[in-house]
């Protein structure tokens, strides 16, 4: 079952009040959205955005069960277009905006799209299945130089050169279509001593491909300034990131924006109790800022 990360902190910083309106830019399995709806009853609304059509279907079913469907508007789209999506839905005023940049448990466990190196699945990795770029296409048709860049830039992979070389050699013999093939390529490319580390050797490669396929860093850079424009004065922007590159983008944007007052001098992180109950939360960092003018 999906457990929303840092849910108490999200509510603490967003501070939802009765009848206020919020945007959840990554509605996922709806965990945060439903908590916001609880706090904004009886007439508060949430606009939930997600690229994953299957995720939206699951949230719509939950909303019907919990009888909050009338207060939850779900939109299939990319949060890089949050301003346009809010305009189309005539969603105003906006008192707070949330980004939870991590994948949901449902996507990892039920997606069947190759997000996890622990499962035998096709190498798709798209949130939005209309996207023409898949992990398989990147692996089989991108140049060795571009593969190395992706692994370095999005995965901070120290053996990017060796893994890129391994991919090029492997695809010359047989097209790379499956997660297990990719795991074998990575394990063969890296030094033996690195395979004994706590983190799985393919972790960074899978992360890098997923971020490249979905343009995650680029979309975040586009969405943050739009979010500030959408917010009412005293509205709050909350971002949960799971990667140092994402966190750096958010941190720098908050610092450089003259319209924001930072609420988190240091990012909020999960307590040990939450990490124990939900191990995937261990790398989460939450930053929050308030619009001042």
Known binder of ligand: residue 146? Answer: no
79 contacts 99 by C-beta, under 8 angstroms: yes
Cα 160 to the center of its chain, rounded Å: 23
**Quick one: angle between helices 203-213 and 179-189, nearest 10?**
130
Known binder of ligand: residue 100? Answer: yes
Name 222's Cβ contacts closer than 8 Å, sequence gap at least 6. Answer: 80
Known binder of ligand: residue 95? Answer: no
Q: What is the DSSP letter of 208?
A: H
Give the separation between CA 2 and CA 14, rounded to whole angstroms. Answer: 21
Give the separation between CA 241 and CA 247, rounded to whole angstroms. Answer: 6
Give residue for tokens 């069960």.
65
Q: What is the DSSP letter of 263?
A: S
216 contacts 75 by C-beta, under 8 angstroms: no
Phi and psi for 198 in degrees, rounded to 5?
A: -65, -40
Known binder of ligand: residue 52? Answer: no
Known binder of ligand: residue 32? Answer: yes
What string of H, E and C letters represents the secondary structure of 104-151? CHHHHHHCCCCCCCCCCCECCCCCCCCCCCCHHHHHHHCCHHHHHHHH
> Coil, strand or helix: which one is 269?
coil
Cα 59 to the center of its chain, rounded Å: 17
Give the separation between CA 56 and CA 169, rounded to whole angstroms. Answer: 39
Known binder of ligand: residue 15? Answer: no
Annotated binding site for S-adenosyl-L-methionine: 30-32, 50, 79, 100, 107
Annotated binding site: 30-32, 50, 79, 100, 107
């Amino acid at each position: 079952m999906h457990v929303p990360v840092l849910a108490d902190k999200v509510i603490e910083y967003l501070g939802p009040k009765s009848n206020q309106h919020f945007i959840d830019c990554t509605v996922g399995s709806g965990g945060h959205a439903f908590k916001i709806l609880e706090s904004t009853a009886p007439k508060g609304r949430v606009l939930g955005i997600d690229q994953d059509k299957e995720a939206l279907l699951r949230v719509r079913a939950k909303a019907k069960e919990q009888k909050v469907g009338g207060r939850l508007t779900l939109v299939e789209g990319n949060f890089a277009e949050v301003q346009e999506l809010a305009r189309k839905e005539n969603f105003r005023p906006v008192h707070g905006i949330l980004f939870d940049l991590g994948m949901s448990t449902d996507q990892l466990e039920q997606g069947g799209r190759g997000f996890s190196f622990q499962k035998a699945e096709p190498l798709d990795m798209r949130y939005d299945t209309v996207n023409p770029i898949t992990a398989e296409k990147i692996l089989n048709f991108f140049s060795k130089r571009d593969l190395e860049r992706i692994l370095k830039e999005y995965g901070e992979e120290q053996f990017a050169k060796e893994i890129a070389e391994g991919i090029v050699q492997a695809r010359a013999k047989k097209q790379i279509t499956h997660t297990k093939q990719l795991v074998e390529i990575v394990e063969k490319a890296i030094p033996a001593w690195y395979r004994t580390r706590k983190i799985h050797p393919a972790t960074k490669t899978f992360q890098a491909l997923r971020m490249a396929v979905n343009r995650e860093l680029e979309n975040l850079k586009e969405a943050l300034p739009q979010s500030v424009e959408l917010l009412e004065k005293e509205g709050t922007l909350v971002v949960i990131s799971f990667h140092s590159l994402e966190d750096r983008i958010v941190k720098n944007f908050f610092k450089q924006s003259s319209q924001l007052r930072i609420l988190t001098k240091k990012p909020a992180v999960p307590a040990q109790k939450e990490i124990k109950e939900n191990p995937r939360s261990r790398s989460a960092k939450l930053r929050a800022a308030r619009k001042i003018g």
